[in-house]
C-alpha cells in the first residue's frame, strides 16, 4: 500500500513540474483512451452479436436478388459501417489535439523562462529551471499521447474497414 502512495506522490510531483497545461493534456489523453477502450470492447464483444443478427436476418430472407433486396443489403451494410466507425473521427481529433496542447505548454513554459530572465537577468539558471521543465514536459506528454493514440486509431480504422468488408462478403445476393 505504501508503494501506491509513493506512485501517487510521484505523479503529483510530475504534474506540478509540467504546469497547468499538463493537466489538460492528461485529461485529453484520459478521454482519448476511454474512447479507444470503448471501441475495442465494441469490436470484440458488441459487434460480433450485431453482425450475427444481421447475417441471420439476411439468411432468413427468402428473396435476395431483386433491386429491393439489394437496397436493403446496402442499407444494412451502411448501418453496420456507421456503428463500426462511430467516434473514430472524434478520436482522430483528440490525437491531433495532443501535440497542439504540448506546443501550448512549450509556449507558456518559455514565457515563464523569459519572465524570470527579465526579472533576475540571464545568469540564474536555477531560477529558469522551472520554466524550462514547464516547457519540455508538456511537449513530451503531448507527443507520447499522440503517438499512442495514432497507433490505436490506425488499428481501429483498419479493423473497422476489415469487418465492414467481411460483412459485405457474407451478405451474398444469391439465393
Domain enclosing residue 120, as ranges: 23-58+66-170
In the chain, % of residues over pLDDT 90:
39
- The verdict on residue 148 lying in a domain is yes
| Cβ neighbours of residue 145 closer than 8 Å, sequence gap 6 or more | 25, 28, 29, 32, 95, 98, 102
In a domain, 14, yes or no: no
CB of 131 closer than 8 Å to CB of 62 = no
pLDDT digits (tens, 9 = 90+) for 27-52: 999 999 999 999 999 999 998 899 99
pLDDT tens digits for 81-107? 999 999 999 999 999 999 999 888 888
Whether residue 10 lies inside any domain: the answer is: no
Q: List pLDDT tens digits, range 107-133.
A: 887 887 777 777 776 666 666 676 777
Give me the chain's average pLDDT, please.
86
Q: How many domains does the chain have?
A: 1
Amino acid at each position: 500500500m505504501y508503494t501506491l502512495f509513493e506512485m501517487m506522490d510521484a505523479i503529483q510531483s510530475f504534474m506540478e513540474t509540467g504546469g497547468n497545461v499538463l493537466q489538460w493534456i492528461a485529461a485529453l489523453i484520459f478521454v482519448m483512451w476511454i474512447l479507444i477502450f470503448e471501441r475495442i470492447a465494441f469490436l470484440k464483444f458488441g459487434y460480433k452479436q450485431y453482425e450475427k443478427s444481421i447475417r441471420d436476418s439476411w439468411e432468413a430472407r427468402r428473396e435476395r436478388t431483386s433491386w429491393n433486396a439489394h437496397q436493403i443489403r446496402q442499407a444494412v451494410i451502411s448501418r453496420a459501417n456507421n456503428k463500426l466507425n462511430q467516434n473514430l473521427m472524434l478520436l482522430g481529433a483528440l490525437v491531433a489535439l495532443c501535440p497542439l496542447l504540448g506546443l501550448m505548454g512549450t509556449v507558456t513554459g518559455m514565457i515563464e523562462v523569459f519572465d524570470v530572465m527579465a526579472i533576475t537577468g540571464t545568469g540564474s539558471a536555477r531560477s529558469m529551471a522551472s520554466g524550462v521543465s514547464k516547457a519540455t514536459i508538456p511537449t513530451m506528454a503531448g507527443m507520447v499521447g499522440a503517438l499512442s493514440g495514432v497507433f490505436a486509431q490506425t488499428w481501429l480504422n483498419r479493423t473497422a474497414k476489415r469487418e465492414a468488408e467481411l460483412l459485405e462478403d457474407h451478405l451474398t445476393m444469391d439465393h
